[in-house]
Amino acid sequence: MSAPRAVPVFPGPAPGYPAIPGPRVPLLEALRATKGIHAEFYDPGGQRYGLPTYPYRWAPACYATVRQLRARGLRPGGQQPVAQVLWKHRGKRRVAYLYLISLALPKRQATPAQIAAICKALTARMTCPACGDWKPYCIPTSIGQCNECAAGGRP
pLDDT(97) > 70: yes
Specify the number of domains making up the chain: 2
Residue 144 and residue 86 in one domain = no
Tell whether 102 and 119 lie within a shared domain: no
Verify that 34 and 61 share a domain, yes or no. Answer: yes
Do 92 and 119 belong to one domain?
A: no
What secondary structure letter does DSSP report for 106? E
Rounded-to-integer distance, Cα 79 and Cα 82, Å: 8
Whether residue 117 sits in one domain with residue 96: no
pTM, entire model:
0.58
Overall average pLDDT of the 43-65 stretch: 86
Domain check: are 75 and 146 in the same one? no
128 falls in which pLDDT band (50, 70, 90)? Answer: very high
> What's the confidence (pLDDT) of residue 7?
46
117 and 90 inside one domain? no
Alpha helices in 34-154 (DSSP H): 66-71, 112-125, 147-150
Per-residue pLDDT at 127 exceeds 90: yes
32-48: pLDDT as tens digits: 555 555 567 777 787 88
Residue 16 belongs to some domain of the structure = no
Provide the domain limits for residue 73: 27-106
Whether 145 shows a pLDDT value over 60: the answer reads yes
> Who has greater pLDDT, 37 or 73?
73
Do 101 and 116 lie in one domain? The reply is no
Q: Are residues 31 and 73 in the same domain?
A: yes
By mean pLDDT, which of 16-25, 95-104, 112-121, 134-143 is the weakest?
16-25
